[in-house]
A and B are shown apart, each in its own frame.
Chain A
Amino acid sequence: MALLRLGRALAVMAGISVLVFLIFFATPGADPAARIAGRGASPETLTAVRAEFGLDRPLPVQYARMMQRLFISQDLASFANRGQLVVPALLRAAPVTLSLAAGAAVLWGAVGLAIGVAAALRRGRPIDRAVTALGLLGVSVPVFWLGEVVNLVTQDRGNPLFAWVPPLGYVPLTEDPARWARALLLPWATLAIVYAGAYGRVLRNSLVDALDQDYVRTARAKGLGEPRVVLRHALRASLGTAVALFGLDFGALVGGGTLLVEVVFGLRGVGKLTYDALNNLDLPMVMAAVLYSSLFVVAANAAADALQAWLDPRLRAG
């Protein structure tokens, strides 16, 4: 079963890499030789550059060489910034994206949990409706646009309210944890706004379902208070859906789903790297970034499936 999964994931990633490769070579103007060589380079220079980068070889050979240099010798270099090795560049960018996604996840997890439980406890009351409305509003906002508006308001030094907001950019956690958190607080909040309400709603709905179940009724009949019933018994049973969803969303974010947020907040993570590489049509970097990100998506999918199967044995047969 696990082997089968692994095989499928590998097949998917192989397909993706071939697809990226073919799209690149089908794109007119993608030939990087002139961009590598510089403005007004002579035809002889272009030919020599193409030869140096192996661009004059047949496509299957180029593909095989690229995969070999990406995975085995790990010395694949960028087309746009000659000498920049893509694997180390990706590894340097990964902590930024990871910090962004993890912090946002903690934030939206905590907020989602709190408002979900609150709404379930006060079913039909204003707070319940507010959670529903917030959830719907959160998923309706274009996240990059929200980020732009946040920057517009908070980057103005004239406003004493936001004097604490640091300049855009990233500070490594190992360098200064306090500044790390301060630099990421607004990006975290921006991302969390999109997810927190949605998770609150998912949790609220499964909690409401669980509260109608027999074992909860039993607990209630035993005279336990409602908050205790919810927290002790219903919550554990209803976390499943939210956790599975969480895996998918988190995987997608770590894989580069934070692209626009990174661009907007000037964070040099995997998303920003990908964005620059795409703007340059820098095939080696695009290839590495796409495979990296699909790895996370595939892994998150597998993890979510496994988790759900574990939670609900009926699904295992499928």
Chain B
Amino acid sequence: MPRVERSAEVSWEGNLARGEGRISAPSGIFSEAPYSAATRIASRPETTSPEELLAAAHAGCFAMSLAGELREAGARIDVTANVVLDEVDGKGHQIVESQLEVRARAPGLEQAAFDEAVEAADRGCPFSRLIAAAAKVTINATLED
């Protein structure tokens, strides 16, 4: 399989405490999305943060991975990722955890097969593997009727 590269650009002005950055993605799906230190720590509407972007990446990655495991054309998968940034003694701010809430509907799928698929999806999700060296990944998965 070929290598795939994806890039994004940020323009930052000023220092950390009072400055502000703008994030753009070449796909055009977001352009000059604002963020700042204040909104990274204390959320403000309409301003994203690195952790929010990672939450979006993890939820997107896990949903695809589980879809690949279920192989059900009629499946519907809902994933919420919650990424936690915390102060760690001697290390400053670190991303310590990503918590996944998964709900799936897959016609005819048994609970045991679903549980196996969730485990396989975690092993196969590139993002889960990526952060496993530094942060904890927790998964709470429910199979719905």
Check if A and B associate. Answer: no
A residues whose Cβ falls under 8 Å from a Cβ of B: none
